[in-house]
Amino acid sequence: MKHLAQAATIAAMVAALAVVLSIAPSGAAAAQEPFAARDHYAKSEYMVPMRDGVELFTIVYTPRDTSKQYPIMLFRTPYSIGPYGPDGYRSPLGPTEQFDRDGYIFVFQDARGTYRSEGEFQVIKPLNRPDAGPTDADESTDNYDTIDWVLSNVPNHNGRVGQWGISYPGWQTVMGMVNAHPALKASSPQASPSDMFIGDDWHHNGAFRLMYAFAWLSNNARRRDAPTEQRRRRFDYGTPWGYDFFLDIGPLANINELFFHNDVPAWNEFMEHGAYDDYWQNQNALVSLDDITHPVLNVAGWFDAEDFYGPMSIYYTLEEMNPANQSTLVVGPWQHGGWRSMSGESLGCIGFDSSTSETFESDVQYPFFNHFLRDAGGWEGTEAIVFETGTNEWRRFDQWPPPGVERRSLYFGADGTLSWDAPAAGAGRTGGVSSGRSAAGTEAYDEYISDPGRPVPFSAEYRTTQGHLWMIEDQRFAATRPDVLVYESEVLTEDVTIAGSIIATLYASTTGTDADWIVKLIDVLPGDTPNNPDCPVPMGDFQMLLAGEVFRAKFRNSYEHPEPMVPGEPTRIEFDLRDRFHTFQAGHRIMVQVQSSWFPVIDRNPQTFVDIYTATEEDFQTATQTIYRSPEMPSHLTLGILRRN
């Protein structure tokens, strides 16, 4: 991690892994009379000492009315706690203006080694080892020491502390939950990563998230000793079309030579750790989540392109390790941090009929902290508060997935069909690129040719960065490609509600020795759906991406020890498309698409068993991919079906 510390520039802290937090408040508070924080709060700046002697720059806003005691809200970030100086005030001070009006002591801190704080910044710094000494510091101890200092040095508090943060600050919130200070009474990690190799920012199931990693590192993570103008210059792609840009680069090994020239040490570190080794395992937050005793409000967005695995895995781990903990899961129809950055009334072409962000801020987040920090009423501590897309309703459950969910399989069939019935003998041929029976004459299958020189694009947009809307984008652009298999149900005669995990089980083979498998679950709207004036495509037969995930086949048995595929040998590949809560309405159809590239959001697999990060042009080979759908090898999705009362 030492090079990552060198690579983290101020700009990286601003842009990396999170939404910008200095946006205007949304919700009910925004409609009230303007609230000037400077009229109600005094501002003080401190250098707060940590146990190892490093001092962290901290801003404290305290109510000018000193006749009362107030709870403390802590926010720690590597993105700057500015504005700095006595006359600059954040707006709002708290998660929303409602907190400002009620009166809290707000504490903001530049993370170690960032902006005005001393020390060395380290991206996703691992927690101390069990043999750490009394002066060894990490994010957990910094959080603890900060709370301890505030309790001793800031007057008029009630002895209770809450903390919150989105994305990287969300991860810092999680770290503060570990070995927590006794005064910490409520935490809300929001869109926090948990494991950067398995499911968050840099990788999904071992597949490298090229487009996102390149954009972040090229613009924000050059060496600190590089010239200032070079470090702060935005990367010029020279084209608006990222697909063409990344394809022209060729193998990943060319990127350092063409663009980075060893000025981005973090890129080199990623290229040196192509499997789930100690480098990545030491960053896994989940192993430290035992003995979390205070209440936790864990927040996620169904369409978060960066960190959906993180909050869901944190929630499940908290439940497993701390069954008595008062934890609540909140999931809404948002992109990464969207509950803070937009109204939540729509995303892309899909509307949700209400300001879902306002509902979260006013009806969930605000009463949660008010209840646990000042004994105020209004908090309904249900286990799961989740938005059901399709019907566009908020639902509350005493557990997640909700009770009464029945696990059912949705099978791939002949002629591109999708059915709840398992395949029977003599399944027949389909209209795919190539289909029929295997050489043994017993297995029905569909085939397509995967060419790394012409990968399937992840989006129909022409852009150089991945953005967010592709997570809910119309998939008709992909359905027409010959290297994408499409399976579709009959028109639904009744609503089908899914809740919980979506498991893809593929029986697949390849003529190569490695392959990527991408599976997408899609809601196909009726042909007579009215157009959306804010949508650039017609809504009739719109193929709404609901869930999609990639799996790199060489990791099918172990993320630590990759293994080649055996050419032509059918192999069971199973992976999680992650949780969803959605109703496919009557009149809609359910679709599944299967492909072997998702470019350039995911790097190209050479389809030969090599270290992809050092692969050469010669390693990239066209392969024939086969998906089986026989009684013996029934490729399918397993869904949780929620029966409505």
**pLDDT tens digit string along 413-470?**
999 999 999 998 754 444 344 444 444 334 699 999 999 999 999 999 999 999 999 9
Residues 382 and 425 reside in one and the same domain: no
pLDDT for res 10? 35
Q: Which of 397, 417, 434 is the last residue of a domain?
A: 397
Which of 7-16, 210-219, 331-340, 452-461 is predicted least confidently?
7-16
pLDDT for res 217? 83
Residue 65 lies in a domain: yes
Q: How many CB atoms lie within 10 A of CB 485?
A: 26
Look up residue 155 and give its amino acid: P
- Show Cβ contacts of residue 88 under 8 Å, excluding neighbours closer than 6 positions: 82
Residues 484 and 565 reside in one and the same domain: yes
Give phi and psi for 430, each to the nearest 5: -125, 180
| 3-state secondary structure at position 176 | helix
pLDDT for res 403? 93
Q: Report residue 393's pLDDT band, with 50, 70 and 90 as the boundaries.
A: very high
Would you mind telling me the total number of residues written for the chain in this entry? Answer: 645
Residues 99 and 151 reside in one and the same domain: yes
Q: What is the mean pLDDT of the chain?
A: 91
Residue 180 lies in a domain: yes
Q: Which of 397, 416, 448 is the last residue of a domain?
A: 397
Distance CA 270, CA 7 (A): 13
Residues 66 and 40 reside in one and the same domain: yes
Are the C-beta atoms of residues 372 and 188 closer than 8 Å to each other? no
User: What distances in angstroms separate CA 118 from CA 56, 425, 581, one per listed residue?
Assistant: 6, 69, 44
Residues 51 and 144 reside in one and the same domain: yes
pLDDT for res 114? 87
Cα torsion 31, 37, 41, 45: sign: positive
Residue 426 lies in a domain: yes
Question: Among 357, 387, 339, 344, which Cα is nearest to 191's?
Answer: 339
Residue 221 lies in a domain: no
Residues 565 and 494 reside in one and the same domain: yes
Question: What's the rounded mean pLDDT across residues 524-550?
Answer: 97
Residues 12 and 83 reside in one and the same domain: yes
Are the C-beta atoms of residues 633 and 537 closer than 8 Å to each other? no
Question: Among 516, 623, 604, 551, which Cα is nearest to 251's?
Answer: 604
Q: Token digits for 469?
A: 């809307």
Residue 240 lies in a domain: no
Residue 73 lies in a domain: yes
Describe the crossing of helices 168-177 and 139-153 by its angle, rounded to 10 degrees.
80
Residues 315 and 455 reside in one and the same domain: no
Number of domains in the chain: 2
Tell me the CA end-to-end span of the chain in Å, nearest whole number: 53
Residues 449 and 378 reside in one and the same domain: no
Residues 480 and 379 reside in one and the same domain: no
- Show Cβ contacts of residue 429 under 8 Å, excluding neighbours closer than 6 positions: 414, 415, 435, 436
User: What distances in angstroms separate CA 281 from CA 140, 194, 195, 213, 284, one per listed residue?
Assistant: 18, 11, 8, 19, 5
Distance CA 170, CA 79 (A): 12
| 3-state secondary structure at position 19 | coil
The answer on pLDDT for 574 being more than 90 is yes
The answer on pLDDT for 1 being more than 50 is no
Q: Which of 344, 365, 397 is the last residue of a domain?
A: 397
Q: How many angstroms from the chain centroid is the CA of residue 216?
A: 15
Residue 409 lies in a domain: yes
Residues 488 and 611 reside in one and the same domain: yes
**pLDDT tens digit string along 467-515?**
999 999 999 999 999 999 999 999 999 999 999 999 999 999 999 999 9
Look up residue 479 and give its amino acid: A
Question: Among 378, 321, 384, 20, which Cα is nearest to 174's?
Answer: 321
Distance CA 64, CA 83 (A): 19
Residues 312 and 443 reside in one and the same domain: no
Q: Token digits for 282?
A: 């030491």
> What range does the domain containing 481 cover?
405-642
pLDDT for res 268? 93
Secondary structure string (H, E, C) spanning 431-480: CCCEEEECCCCCCEEEEEEECCCCCCECCCCCCCCCCCHHHHCECHHHHC
pLDDT for res 234? 81
Distance CA 533, CA 228 (A): 45
H-helix or E-strand spanning residue 107: strand 105-110
pLDDT for res 72? 98
User: What distances in angstroms separate CA 86 from CA 104, 150, 356, 433, one per listed residue?
Assistant: 19, 19, 35, 68
pLDDT for res 354? 97
Question: Among 364, 367, 300, 365, which Cα is nearest to 332's?
Answer: 300
Residue 223 lies in a domain: no
Tell me, what CATH number does 553's domain have? 2.60.120.260
**Residue 344 falls in which region: left (phi positive, over 0), alpha (psi -120 to 50) or beta:** left
10 Å CB burial of residue 34 (0-12, 13-18, 19+) is: exposed
Tell me, what CATH number does 360's domain have? 3.40.50.1820
H-helix or E-strand spanning residue 72: strand 70-77
